[in-house]
Structure 1
């Protein structure tokens, strides 16, 4: 393919990683991880995130309150907080390392080996960022399902359900993993372009002409 060059692959990987990082950052502070509404009072909707608990009513609108204590939170929310912060930090470092390793960037110019190592480092950090985004979202999703189908709660008691932030977190984590994979693909493409052309094993034999000396017998 003519347009699928190493530079194009590098920039595509950087763009996908940036999109995944922004989505994960928004998901981290978005109070829409879980939602709950009651059949007895349909005008009230509850929203739960990693940092806030919100209540929405038609008369007042949305009101949010931060959690008062960290130790009182469920274990899944505590683990999710740490993992999401690690995801944002490693994703930011992945962008810095990968940007320095891009072709056409003045940084580390004249050092192709160092640029290749920076791209590999950016891909690894992007993978770590994606996995540390997918893990907490999946943990909260699992605990939500377990609590929803818990037979110990009365049927009239409202249950927590998935919020929009759950799906944005899965999307952001997947984008970070794909971005890291594209960085590895770009490194492999650069190696193939820098590889010297193959020399054929056997050269074609040239036809030899025999020169005969013509002698005359006297």
Structure 2
């Protein structure tokens, strides 16, 4: 397993993870709801707006009126996802100057490149955790409310939307990217450790003299 391939794959996976996290933050399909009373309409709930989708394909979205009126779980998810997008962007940009394929005007020391990749890997791991926490929390609360026996069966319940699955993919990809970058740092460091062989252990052949 080549170090250059590992770090390059880590950056590519980090780019895909960041795009998934950004899409998750902007998508309005965190939760979906459809009722039997109005089968021609379905509702979508996102972090920034709510949408009503008609059966014919038209959609009408309205942003939240105020921050104070947001549900606590939506507010928490919005904050954590914004932090995940910011950390993921830094985790994507920092390792690029530390790649073996990138050569600047001045030769960079291997220690500086390793530090950039390590910082990018740590930020990718943090972005993965920040993305998985709100998505999993919203999914958990949705399951709890879906099976709430205190509500009548005729009351419509929210269900998982596509944004939740995109958020899970973003979190897993961020964790994978961080692991690849940190692994490339460790292997690169192991390669640079010099091997010292004691002179006393060298096998010196016997010298034969002919008269």
TM-score range, shorter chain: over 0.9
State the match for 1:148 in structure 2: 146
Cα deviation 1:131-156 (Å, max 9, x = unaligned): 10000001111111111111222211
Distance (Å, rounded) in 1 between the aligned partners of 2:49 and 2:107? 46
Structure 2: unaligned runs, 5 residues or longer? none
State the match for 1:100 in structure 2: 97
Distance (Å, rounded) in 2 between the aligned partners of 1:167 and 1:7? 31
Q: What are the within-5 Å matches in structure 2 for residues 105-124 of structure 1?
A: 105-107=102-104, 109-124=107-122
Q: What are the within-5 Å matches in structure 2 for residues 55-204 of structure 1?
A: 55-59=52-56, 61-107=58-104, 109-197=107-195, 199=197, 202-204=201-203
Larger Rg: 1
State the match for 2:12 in structure 1: 15
Aligned-residue RMSD, C-alpha: 1.8
Residue 124 of structure 1: how far off its partner (Å): 0.5
Structure 1: unaligned runs, 5 residues or longer? 213-218
Distance (Å, rounded) in 2 between the aligned partners of 1:43 and 1:136? 30
SS at match of 1:9: helix
Q: After the TM superposition, which of the residue ranges 100-109 and 17-26 deviates more from structure 2?
A: 100-109
Residue 119 of structure 1: how far off its partner (Å): 0.6
Cα deviation 1:60-97 (Å, max 9, x = unaligned): 61111111111111111000000000001011111121
Distance (Å, rounded) in 2 between the aligned partners of 1:92 and 1:60? 34
- Inter-CA distance 25–60: structure 2 relative to 1 (3 Å threshold): closer
